[in-house]
Structure 1
Amino acid sequence: MNRREILKIAGAAAVGAMILFNIAHASSTSAKGLPIKVAGYDYDRVRAIMDGLVGTEGAVVDFHVENIYGLNQSAFGSERKYDVTELGLIPFVTKYINNDFRAYTLIPVFISRIFRHRNVFVHVDAGIEKPEDLRGKRVGTTGYGMSANTWIRGFLLDDYGVKADDMQWIETTQSSDKGKLNAGFAKYYFADDFPLVLGPPNVDESELILSGGCDALINAITPRVVLEGNPKVKPLFPDVRAEEQAYYKRHGVFPIMHVVAIRTDLINKHPWLPKAVFEMYSKAKQQTYTNLESTTVLKTTLPWATQEFESTRRIMGKNYWPYGIEANRKELELVMRYVYEQGLVKHRLKFEELFHPSTLELMEP
């Protein structure tokens, strides 16, 4: 065999080896599963996902931490860089109904919830001592249509008889947390004479109330004036904890702020994904419950975390942060009622239409 023939055989062998390597590599990558980019806040209830302790069979999860401003902007804009994302529930509802938004589909993982009695603040000189005193008052807000404000207007009506148009709404042009606000009003569907005006340029909600431009603030964020401890502004409800617990005991409602959504085109290609992602989030939350139960070490920086956990369960039940449709039916029905009554959407819709059909019957163990 001459030198040329030897080189020819060696070259063929190298090509064959490269082909085998590529096949093996592709097989290995395929075996790992579908790569999915997941995004949201770094809550304790998603920590197990972030740390890789909990995942989903058939997928490789890459978790990105981002705030709700960026998450909503990415999903509702053209970028849509995340496959699975946390979104504002009420912003999603309004986009779905008003703009036929279908790029993402919800699953019943209600990742952010908070009672909102803590988000009503009043000027000490405004003569507001109880919710009913808000009638006829000027109320500043960084966004009339924000989720928190929608829930607040809901309980003001249901528990105290104060209607949205009983107050004079002022939507500020700046937010003291430096969050980016809409330029001008969002699209609303209430009467032309509804009492809502745009605030002065370059004035945030804290400056507005201190300058006498409004009597109260109803706001998703805690205003800077409150964080700084200014004595001129106080909470409407002096004992917020007691008020919020009483609300839960009356209604059995834990207000939903954010939800998890999956790209619709990805679901169409991988119809198993909604159920798998639901189970991933549920397992991660269960890991948080386990951590809170532990008395061996404290994994949260609170000395009486275990006692707080036990107290919460006595009031709200063992799984007080439930996922799934049936466990959240009251909250979802209220959301759909509130967005319509408060002029955020042009027509009513049943909440089930927002969620992927494969998730409607999902329940946690």
Structure 2
Amino acid sequence: MADLVATDRIRIALGDYPITLPIKKNGTTETGGRFEFEDIVPITKAFKPMIRKNAYDISEMAIATYVQARAFDKPIWLLPAALLARFQHKTIVSNSEYSTLRPKDLEGKTVGIRSYSQTTVMWARGILSAEYGVDLSRINWLTFEDGHLAEYSDPPNARRAPEGNTVAAMLQAGQIDAGIMGNDLPKDDPRLITVIEDPKGDSKRGYESNRVIPINHMVVASQALIEQRPEIVRQFFDMLVASKAAGHGATDAGLDINPIGIDTLRHSLEAVVEHCLEQKLIDRRLTVDELFHDKTRELGR
């Protein structure tokens, strides 16, 4: 990243959500041209260059990827604001033309996933283990992409699919038993049904039991920006807070899915760390406070 003090141009990578759209629309003007928003679609394409090359000053980031980045001491740090969250029970699907599977039936089967460390997959595996007693080590995971961190290696029960395939295509062809898919789930194939029989009801019951908001994406800033220009990080964070306060936050099943502040996020972040540890995405338990730089830990308090 260029010398921030000299350039004073802040490159920002954000997706389009109710909470971010006002910032992307007005942020450049409000900061006198300081904030420059990158046009990246889908926003997931920003994650690998941010992790590997520190490509942006501020970036949206998948939470499982960030936890791994912290474990590997990458020079980026979390801001306490969630941009995207969703209940993941509906993402585990099978092809009813070939079989109707329930969660425990997945043991011994092959399940397609975009990458082993994908956040949606992390949550879905956590659900299978914690809520349905599925032994994750007995599932054969078929991956289609590398994870965002070059230093991470998938576990022995994960293997790579042949080049040129997708989770959806192999599931539709009956070449795998099930798949975990979020936005890439085909909407026009009635054969693809959820493995969890009542995903909406079970997600509600799961939340009533564990009180965990399944965060997908949060925001990170480069260590250089945080340490050289903490007032800019504060300015950006305050814009998120103001956007939500103006009514631009989002809900799912009546729940706030843009929680802000460490105290509000703590319980859900603890669940993220536990799932990452159980699934061998990280090799030691991180505390929530370790996820934040000294200069970002107090934001939102």
Q: How does the TM-score come out when normalised to structure 1?
A: 0.71
Q: Considering only aligned residues, what root-mean-square deviation do their CA atoms show, in Å?
A: 2.9
Alignment correspondent of 1:328: 265
Higher deviation after alignment, 195-204 or 337-346: 195-204
Alignment correspondent of 2:90: 118
Could you list the per-position Cα deviations for residues 259-316 of structure 1 after superposition, in whole angstroms to 9, with x for gaps in the alignment? Answer: 11112112211233333322211111222348x8xxxxxxxxxxxxxxxx6x944xx3
CA–CA separation in structure 2 for the residues paired with 1:289 and 1:333: 26
Alignment correspondent of 2:165: 203
Contact conserved, 2:111 with 2:140, CA < 8 A, in 1?
yes
Could you list the per-position Cα deviations for residues 306-360 of structure 1 after superposition, in whole angstroms to 9, with x for gaps in the alignment? Answer: xxx6x944xx3xx552111111111111111111111112322223222122332
Contact conserved, 2:13 with 2:59, CA < 8 A, in 1?
yes
Is 1:60 matched up with 2:34?
yes
Alignment correspondent of 2:229: 270
In structure 1, give the amino acid aligned to 2:235.
A
Contact conserved, 1:68 with 1:88, CA < 8 A, in 2?
no
- 3-state DSSP of counterpart to 1:261: strand
Alignment correspondent of 1:242: 201
Contact conserved, 2:13 with 2:43, CA < 8 A, in 1?
no
Contact conserved, 2:116 with 2:154, CA < 8 A, in 1?
no
In structure 1, give the amino acid aligned to 2:45.
G
Specify whether residues 349 and 222 from structure 1 end up closer, same or farther in structure 2 by C-alpha distance, changes over 3 A only: same
- 3-state DSSP of counterpart to 1:158: helix
Q: What is the 5 A alignment of 1:82-161?
A: 82-98=56-72, 100-102=73-75, 104-161=76-133
Alignment correspondent of 1:232: 191
Paired residue for 1:359, among 274, 296, 301? 296
Q: Give the gaps of 5 or more residues in structure 2.
A: none
* Aligned length in residues: 293
Alignment correspondent of 2:46: 71
CA–CA separation in structure 1 for the residues paired with 2:48 and 2:157: 28
Specify whether residues 351 and 322 from structure 1 end up closer, same or farther in structure 2 by C-alpha distance, changes over 3 A only: same
Contact conserved, 2:83 with 2:257, CA < 8 A, in 1?
no
Specify whether residues 125 and 45 from structure 1 end up closer, same or farther in structure 2 by C-alpha distance, changes over 3 A only: same
In structure 2, give the amino acid aligned to 1:321.
N
The structure number with the bigger radius of gyration is 1
- 3-state DSSP of counterpart to 1:267: helix
Identity of aligned residues (%): 25
**Larger RCO, structures 1/2 (Cα 8 Å, 6+ apart):** 2
- 3-state DSSP of counterpart to 2:193: strand
Could you list the per-position Cα deviations for residues 84-111 of structure 1 after superposition, in whole angstroms to 9, with x for gaps in the alignment? Answer: 111112112213313x311x22111111
- 3-state DSSP of counterpart to 1:44: coil
Contact conserved, 1:112 with 1:257, CA < 8 A, in 2?
yes
Paired residue for 1:188, among 153, 169, 176? 153
CA–CA separation in structure 2 for the residues paired with 1:274 and 1:280: 10
Specify whether residues 42 and 289 from structure 1 end up closer, same or farther in structure 2 by C-alpha distance, changes over 3 A only: closer
CA–CA separation in structure 1 for the residues paired with 2:32 and 2:298: 22
Is 1:345 matched up with 2:279?
no
